[in-house]
Structure formats: C-alpha cells, structure tokens
Structure 1
C-alpha cells in the first residue's frame, strides 16, 4: 500500500465545517446488494451533520434557499471525483497495529501466542497505548474508514485511551474491552470478577463521555477458547442490560474449531456455544466464519447476527476462505473487516480487493462460478452491508435523507496516485478503478457526521 497522503491542516485536529453545506457532482452509493447507484448530476445538502436533501444540479438554487446554505458553502466535484459513503470496518484489533505485516509465517494459534498476546500485554502502559491508538485511528481515517468496530485489550485504562483517541480524531466507532479468563498466558489474562467489573466500568465510562454520540461500547469476549461459559453468560446478560453490541470470533481456523469442541463437549457446534451463552443478538458481529456448518449459518441468520468477512487476514494466517455468497444466500448479514493485525492493511479498499480475489480462488476450489463476488458487491459490503452488519443502517451506510453525513470525496486524477486516467471513463468505471487501484492518496476528504476530519 502506498504511503499516507500529505494533509493540509494538522491531521490530529478536526477541521471546522459550516453547519450547512452542499456538494454537486457524481453521487455513488448502494441501496440494495450488488447494485451501485450513481447520480452524475447529483446534489447532496448537509445540515447539522445530517443529509437534509438529495436532488439534482438543476435545483441547486431552490435547495440552497430552502436549507439556508450560502454560496460560499457550495462544493463542485470535477471530472475524476465522486462522493460516496464512508467505509465501515466491522472487525479491527487496534492494539495489534504495531504487528501489521509481521508473523505471517505462523498460523492463528501460534501467531496469537508468539505475536499477539505479548503486544497486547503492553497496553497497561498508558503512554504506549496513546501512541499506538492515535496512530491507528489517524491511519484508518486517512484510508476512508469513517466507522470502525475495534477490539482493545483486557486493560480498562488502555481501552478508555482508545475511546479518547477516537473522540479526539472524530471517528465513529464501537469499542470493546476484551474479556479473557481462560486458556490465556500467565502474563496476559484476568479473573472472571475482574473481567465483569472492568467491562461494566468501561461501558459506563463510554456512556459518560461528553459528546459521545459517535462512540458505542461493545461487549467483547475474545473467543470461546479464552472465556469460560460462566463469563460468557454473564457478558450476555450485561449486553442485554445495557442494550449494547457484542463482538467475538467464530470458526476462523480448523485447529481453533477442534479446540472449542473439546472445551464445550455439550454444545452442538462453535456457534451453539455463543447461542447457549445468550451472545447471539441482532447486534452481534462474529468475525471470520470460515468453517461454519449449515446448521450454524441457520442459527446466525435466525438471530439476525452478522459475520465480518476478513479475507486478507484469512489468507495471511492461512486460515481458509469464507464462502460469503453462501452466507448471503442464507440471510446472514455480512460486512468487511481489516482484522489488523491478522490482516496486513488498515485499508478497507485493500479488503475489497481481497474479498474479490478470495471469492475467485474459492470458485476454483469448489468449481462453483456463483462463489465469485464482483466489485459492486464488495462496494456494498464495505458500506451499506457493513452498516447493516453493525445494526446501524438507520444512521449510516449510504446517501439518504435523514442519515448522518459519513462520506468520502474520492479523486482519481490528482498526483501522486497509482491511477492514470488516459481515456474518458464514466463514473462506474472510475469507481471500479478506485476499488482495484485506489489507496489513501485518492481519499481527498473524509467526513464523519458532517465534520471534516481529513483533507488533502
């Protein structure tokens, strides 16, 4: 991936944007799976962080007058630019960011022991946590991730530091203090009592943050291997008490799946462990899902839970390939995840490419053409699909009146960039170019809830 863009203002400051403004030019989003909708002469008006009008260029004056938008707050997109919804990362481990690109000679379980647990143990150090968390939030925003669903670590203070970093830089996020009271190394773990006490304290800390509308707590049992059933059941009760999201891992690796069977012999399968604990809800995000059985897929769909597809991670750690089409065909909500640092890149654009590539390789293995995902489908998974997976599609995910203005201005003509436009291309082809060739240098502006948080 290319190096980060040069920014105008200092990147760790949110930039002031008028409470009302509008954009004129190509608007790109999804309203249903697999179909990108484009309005080349579009107009989108924003007031107090929300989309207040979608119209056409021809009605510019009327829209501006109706919503009190002055001419100096008009933005006109030029050829090679388009406006799209912000990208949504449904699974990312913020503390693992220093390890991105390292340790991929190992598979999941060895990688956790040798790389992941040692780095995560360091986050009792507040200064270290601040350094890393500021870096990962800035980097994901630079790559167009307006919403991220973060795992932190077991440390209460470190998890709060991540929340403060997210607030400081203006990202929308779900943040979870990790729970792990079983099968953990001596240097990195917690008791059941500590886990529950600190988790509840973290939820209350997030709820008490001033101006915390962009940040939500998420109950985060690491995975069934590292939490006993008593802890998982009590976490399920806590999620219900506070009506919060839940995130964990499921069926990522064959050895992991077999280990879960030995730990929970009375459960029908891996997913049933979570179901028995009351952890499957319409706000649950299960990362990976590579080896889900038909019965497990049915259970996940019945609870309206979601799967975060992490193709770059699944390849790097040699875990396998998730059959995304099968999940979608059976009614499971699916979003995309970078899974830093199992995945090497903090960019959801990179994950979109990875999802296409993984699906093609799966079609070779299975001899099923239907496995293949196209660029319009992964665009959906990265935007509206991710919003649905997080049960937040009433607020974000596409460009509709009443939704929060989480949006990106994409530019494919300015340099430096890996993209050369050497012949006339319509907007759909520009979108395709961005998915296959784009990086952070093409993300010209990033808005979260109408606030400008990045500008090249």
Structure 2
C-alpha cells in the first residue's frame, strides 16, 4: 500500500491544471490502483478518515512538505531505444542522410546481445530518473535484442510499449529483412511479450519503420498482425519534406502517407503515428475517424521536420501526446520536450495557436495516455486508476532552481516545468510501486 498526503497536481482537462491541496491518496497494495483520493482533508482529521474508511489507524502515510508535490508520470510516446548512444549529437543532416550516416550503423550493433543489455539498462534507468514512467519504444530489427529491451523494462518496473522494427527495402544490405522474415519476427515478438506480461505493464507494438523502408506487402502483413493480436501500431507519418517527397516517388498513385497506412489496415484506434508535421486537413480527418493519433516530437521536428506541428490548428479530438524522439531529439527528458513544444508554438502568428506549459503538461501525461490507449489506467489521479507518479521536491540540496520569495503553488509547478530537472524528482512510482533508480 502507498499512502501519501500533500499536494497533487494533474491536468485532467487540456490547458487547465488542477491543484489538489491537503490530499490523501492511498493505493491497493496488490494492484497499485488508487482506492482513496480525498482532497481538502486537514491533517488532524486523517485518523477519523482512516477509521471511517475501515483502514488501519497505523497506516504508514508519507507527508509531503510545502515545497513537494506529486505529478502523474511522464509518458514518452515516441523514442528510439537503440539510438540512445548518440543522443545529444549528430543533428547536422537532413533525415534521409541522417538515417544512413548515423542511425542504421548504430542500430546494426544490436545484433550483439551483450551490447543491447548494457545500453538498454542505462537507457531505462535514465528515463525513469527523468520521470518517464511509460515509454513507447522503437527497437531495432533484431528479435533477441528487442526481447532484451522488453525484459529490461519489466525488470526495472517501467511501463512500456515496445516494437520490433520491421523494414524490407531502402535499408543497408546487412540491416534489412525479407518481407516474410519481418512479419515472422514481429509475430514472434508479440507472442513473447504476451507470455511475459504478468503485471500488465508491457505491450508489444507492430512497428513498420516508415513507408520508405516498407513494401506494401509488408505493411499489409503487419496490418493483419495488429488486427489478429489486437495490439497497437506505431510508425512515422508525414514527418519531413524529404520523407514526403520520397513516398511520392515510391508511390506516385498514393495521395499521402495516411492514405497508404489506412489502406493497409495500420490506422486504428490504437495507432501512434510520430511527427505528422505535414499532414493535410484531410489526413487529419481520416486519423480522427479511425481513432489514431500523433506523437508530437518538438525537439526532433526542429531539426528534421521542416516545420512545426500545429497543435491548436487541428481538431480537439485528434489524440496527441509528446515524445522525445531520441536520438532525433537531443534529450531523453520529457521536460525538455514540453519546453520545446511551447517554444515551437510561438512561431505561429495566431495567438490562438499557442501551446502554454499547462497544455504541454497535459500532452506529456493524460494526453499521452489517451494516445496510447491507457487513459483509463494512467495519466491523471482518479480512483480506480493505477498510481504512476513523480514525487517532486523543489528544495533538494542541489536543486536547479531557487525559491527566493513566497509564491503560490501554481507558480511553483510552472517553475518546475520550466527550470526543473531530474534533481527535483526524488521518487518515481509505476503501478503503485516505487521504481526510483
């Protein structure tokens, strides 16, 4: 059982922050599900409340200080696990050249399972330390290495959606599969995850890299797998001008990425499509009708996408989350993705299209949960949801921010979003379990 008393902060509605003061939150010790959530409860009345709820009077409650609060865990809806070694570097080329010079050579190394074990342990630890309680991973084409990634997330307690990458064209000769092999490996990995997921925190994802590296037979086969096993789909969609041009060259009779993905059965209510900077209004409408959504990656979009994703221009019922897109994005921190989302939105001239920090926080939590189909489980604080949360402390010994005068709690939360980092995250919980590295 987890019992915490103090300030809770979440964003159940886009653009609005709810701050719950003097709140007691308690979870079921077996499931991590929130069973009690009582706000405006004076500390002196806690014993009476426990008695009324038939809870032990000696319940071990953690009391937060006035400079501590809890947030929902961050949800990174798009990250390339094998690219982590060159994170923070190699952002000097257009997308296609970047893939050939940096990405494919790095990803090829994961045929070495010892390498995969060492890198993935470091990556998952780093993400948890930065508050990423849920990550949607692209892995590599290697079955054993992708199993290692899945096992690592389970061992370290991170909630994860993991995809073995499928591609059968326009890739190096020593880093490519045949159509049949790619489909077989994808199915084998799905079965492996379903056998391993006793705690229901690991989800396999059908993962065609993107249209330029996938033939239509492969896309169709993956669409059939997604339907057969009822699993999510992830890929890149209308990401950059050179990617869009490449698809038009390969498929001159196809209107757009969206059209082709849809025809192959890969746009479903469980589809997580990264970037989407160059989606047309028609494309967006199709995605809304299918229940698909976009993993917005503002850091990598600044380098590779030749544009800014117009969050406020698109319909409010288009599902949107935030992603780091490591290593296209230079930072594994979702805080940096939130900040860049706000900065990027300022390039739109219409003030109605601005993304403020509250909207960015929404996209990094409950918005991401909606995108990946887990909003009934995580993303905000409600009875019957599981407790995925961060304990924030603004007055740690090495805090990156200074508190120089009395400020209301909303300003303190904003200060954390704009200035905070992993030094302020003193504990991480997933499913009601402390998993702090």
TM-score (norm. length: structure 1): 0.92
Distance 1:21 1:305 in 2: 35
CA contact (8 A) 1:297 1:330 kept: no
Cα distance 1:75–1:290, how it changes in 2: closer, same or farther (>3 A)?
same
Cα distance 1:277–1:417, how it changes in 2: closer, same or farther (>3 A)?
same
3-state SS in 2 of match to 1:321: coil
3-state SS in 1 of match to 2:360: helix
CA contact (8 A) 2:239 2:305 kept: no
3-state SS in 2 of match to 1:71: coil
Shift of 1:243: 0.4
CA contact (8 A) 2:33 2:384 kept: yes
Structure 1, unaligned runs of 5 or more: 1-19
Answering whether residue 377 of structure 2 is matched by residue 395 of structure 1, we say yes
Q: How does 1:48-59 map to 2 (within 5 A)?
A: 48=29, 49-56=32-39, 57-58=41-42, 59=45
Cα distance 1:240–1:67, how it changes in 2: closer, same or farther (>3 A)?
farther
CA contact (8 A) 1:97 1:341 kept: yes
Structure 2, unaligned runs of 5 or more: none
Q: Indicate the RMSD between aligned Cα atoms, in angstroms.
A: 1.3
CA contact (8 A) 1:298 1:330 kept: no
Answering whether residue 215 of structure 2 is matched by residue 233 of structure 1, we say no
Q: Which residue of structure 1 lines up, in the alignment, with residue 330 of structure 2? A: 344
Q: Which residue of structure 1 lines up, in the alignment, with residue 76 of structure 2? A: 89
CA contact (8 A) 1:40 1:427 kept: no
Answering whether residue 331 of structure 2 is matched by residue 383 of structure 1, we say no
Shift of 1:316: 3.0
CA contact (8 A) 1:85 1:383 kept: yes
3-state SS in 2 of match to 1:37: strand
Shift of 1:70: 5.3
Distance 1:67 1:282 in 2: 41
Shift of 1:62: 4.1
- Deviation digits for residues 232-264 of structure 1 (CA, Å, limit 9, x no counterpart): 011111101000000000111101101101212
Q: How does 1:139-288 map to 2 (within 5 A)?
A: 139-209=126-196, 211-288=198-275
Q: Which residue of structure 2 lines up, in the alignment, with residue 7 of structure 1? A: none
Q: How does 1:55-66 map to 2 (within 5 A)?
A: 55-56=38-39, 57-58=41-42, 59-65=45-51, 66=53
Distance 1:188 1:67 in 2: 59
3-state SS in 2 of match to 1:200: helix
Q: Which residue of structure 2 lines up, in the alignment, with residue 411 of structure 1? A: 393
Shift of 1:157: 0.2
Q: Which residue of structure 1 lines up, in the alignment, with residue 19 of structure 2? A: 38
Distance 1:67 1:117 in 2: 58
- Deviation digits for residues 106-135 of structure 1 (CA, Å, limit 9, x no counterpart): 111111000000000111100000011111
Distance 1:160 1:341 in 2: 21
Q: Which residue of structure 2 lines up, in the alignment, with residue 16 of structure 1? A: none
Q: Which residue of structure 1 lines up, in the alignment, with residue 5 of structure 2? A: 24
3-state SS in 2 of match to 1:409: strand
Distance 1:373 1:342 in 2: 22
Shift of 1:72: 5.5
Q: Which residue of structure 2 lines up, in the alignment, with residue 11 of structure 1? A: none
- Deviation digits for residues 9-55 of structure 1 (CA, Å, limit 9, x no counterpart): xxxxxxxxxxx231111111122111110111111111131100110
CA contact (8 A) 1:223 1:248 kept: yes
Q: Which residue of structure 1 lines up, in the alignment, with residue 350 of structure 2? A: 368
Q: Which residue of structure 2 lines up, in the alignment, with residue 300 of structure 1? A: 287
Cα distance 1:212–1:196, how it changes in 2: closer, same or farther (>3 A)?
farther
CA contact (8 A) 2:2 2:28 kept: yes
Paired residue for 1:436, among 411, 418, 424? Answer: 418
CA contact (8 A) 1:147 1:173 kept: yes
3-state SS in 2 of match to 1:325: coil
- Deviation digits for residues 389-439 of structure 1 (CA, Å, limit 9, x no counterpart): 111101000000000110111011112121101111111111100110011
CA contact (8 A) 1:22 1:69 kept: no
Distance 1:293 1:434 in 2: 35
- Deviation digits for residues 134-193 of structure 1 (CA, Å, limit 9, x no counterpart): 111000000000000000000000100001110111000000000000111112110011
Shift of 1:60: 2.1
Answering whether residue 70 of structure 2 is matched by residue 98 of structure 1, we say no
Q: 122-131 vs 266-275, which deviates more?
A: 266-275
Q: Which residue of structure 1 lines up, in the alignment, with residue 310 of structure 2? A: 323
TM-score (norm. length: structure 2): 0.96
